[in-house]
Amino acid sequence: MNFKGSILIVDDEPHIRKFVALIVRTLGITAVTEAADGEDAIARFAADHPDVVLLDVNMPRIDGLETLRRIKEVDPDAVVIMLTSLANRASVDRALDLGAANYIRKDTPKEEIIRSLAETIDAAFGPGDNQT
């Protein structure tokens, strides 16, 4: 993977943001911002235009699916990857319908999360493509 773009991590739980930030660091991505809820995420997306959004599903007020919908409204090509602890079929289907690039369970071993994340980013940007 040779992705050098920027990533926005959205999760209401600080320990998960920390964990996901380390995963992203393992992939050699350094341009990382964080948001603690859906509203914050939508505002940051509009302001910074990150290349990839890692989005939690269960969040208070505006949940991940609604956040995804609004981000796609702003930019239909946005690469949004859902990160969740609860993979129920209905929300997986809904997220994919709304245009999520992938759906990753965050309670899987970290090697697996790293692998699926790298695969999804490669699929979206191409393995050799250098984003800036």
Burial of 63 (0-12, 13-18, 19+ CB in 10 A): middle
User: Is residue 30 close enough to count as binding another protein by CB under 8 A?
Assistant: no
- Taking CB under 8 A as the binding criterion, the range among 18-26, 65-73, 115-123, 124-132 that sits at the site for another protein is 18-26
User: Is residue 22 close enough to count as binding another protein by CB under 8 A?
Assistant: yes
User: Is residue 89 close enough to count as binding another protein by CB under 8 A?
Assistant: yes
Query: What is the SS3 assignment for 107?
Result: coil
Question: Which residues, in sequence order, are CB contacts of 75 under 8 Å at separation 6+?
Answer: 45, 49
Report the C-alpha gap between 54 and 21 in whole angstroms: 10
- Taking CB under 8 A as the binding criterion, the range among 1-9, 16-24, 33-41, 59-67 that sits at the site for another protein is 16-24
User: Is residue 60 close enough to count as binding another protein by CB under 8 A?
Assistant: no
User: Is residue 85 close enough to count as binding another protein by CB under 8 A?
Assistant: yes
User: Contacting another protein (CB under 8 A), which of 64, 81, 106, 124?
Assistant: 106
Report the C-alpha gap between 5 and 30 in whole angstroms: 8
User: Is residue 19 close enough to count as binding another protein by CB under 8 A?
Assistant: yes
